[in-house]
Structure 1
Amino acid sequence: MADQIYPCIWFDGQAKAAAEFYGSIFPNSKITTENPIVVLFELNGFKFMGLNGGPQFTPNEAVSFVVNCEDQAEIDHYWYKLIADGGEESMCGWLKDKYGVSWQIVPKTLGKLMSDPEKGQRVMNAFLKMRKFDIQALLDA
């Protein structure tokens, strides 16, 4: 039986640079193993594999990594670090980093706010207009 499941991200020869980039953003991160083809690394204690696979495939929005954030400072930290040096903002807390990997930077409180029968629709209407989540605006909705 498999002892662990973890994602493999295909890069065009940039697996180590990507692992170092992500490691500079997330706490409790490190490169654990590397060779010319594969870089194993941890982000906040979770295992990832970067594959130097070449230009045949590129990441897309079909797979994204969700970062649940405690507060606005955490949202801002991850948002601005991940879009640095060529990343792209999208809508509703989504972004692509400079390697084309998609991330969702969301407040932990979003599910609770969305399930509130009184506010849920207003919260959804508010965040559908946002790029980076603004927790106060969601609370005020």
Structure 2
Amino acid sequence: MATPRNTICLWYDKDAEAAARFYASVFPDSAVQAVFHAPADFPGGKAGDVLTVQFTVAGIPCIGLNGGPVFPQSEAFSFQIATDSQEETDRYWNAIIDNGGQASDCGWCKDRWGLSWQITPRVLTEALAAGGDEAQRAFAAMMTMQKIDVAAIEAARHG
């Protein structure tokens, strides 16, 4: 398999493989392609430890780097996953939260490794794109939520 020209590199303390396998189990069009072990000792580990993991998340090529605790994840980077229903929204949100993650506001959550996710129903994106009063009502409703409630967004959208 050829390496993509542009790949997102995600820094993990030491659990890149576990994270990649979790993402592959939750999101469609996701897989772990390869696990590479360090050929020698490095600042975050020893020869033979998992150094990098090549994987995809919802079709996006990624490399997980076990670089140690020096650079923790932050909300400055997130994956935004578009969903088509409340059931799909619940499935992804609950998978992240129930696996040691943490809920936040407006459809955001963090997985157990500190990576941020936006689980975003398309109905919300469409309401915001509509502009005007419709967008204002949907935005006001979203601001009261953690996990997005599709029915509440639809009700707000239509006044």
Q: Is the structural similarity TM-score above 0.5?
A: yes
**How many pairs are equivalent?**
140
Equivalent residue, structure 2, for 1:117: 132
Q: Deviations over 1:18-45 (max 9, x none)?
A: 1111111012322111112110012233
Matched, 1:140 2:155: yes
Unaligned runs of 5+ in 2: 37-49
Contact 1:84-1:98 at 8 Å conserved across structures: no
Question: Scaled by the length of structure 2, what TM-score is found?
Answer: 0.83
Q: Deviations over 1:74-110 (max 9, x none)?
A: 1001100011232100000000000100000001122
Deviation at 1:13, TM superposition (A): 1.0
Helix, strand or coil for the counterpart of 1:66? strand
Equivalent residue, structure 2, for 1:25: 26
Contact 1:23-1:30 at 8 Å conserved across structures: yes
Unaligned runs of 5+ in 1: none
CA 1:44–1:112 in structure 2 vs 1: closer, same or farther (change >3 Å)? closer
Structure of larger gyration radius? 2
Equivalent residue, structure 2, for 1:80: 94
| Residue type of the alignment partner of 2:88 | E
After the TM superposition, which of the residue ranges 97-106 and 110-119 deviates more from structure 2? Answer: 110-119
Contact 1:11-1:50 at 8 Å conserved across structures: yes
Question: Scaled by the length of structure 1, what TM-score is found?
Answer: 0.93
Deviation at 1:116, TM superposition (A): 4.2
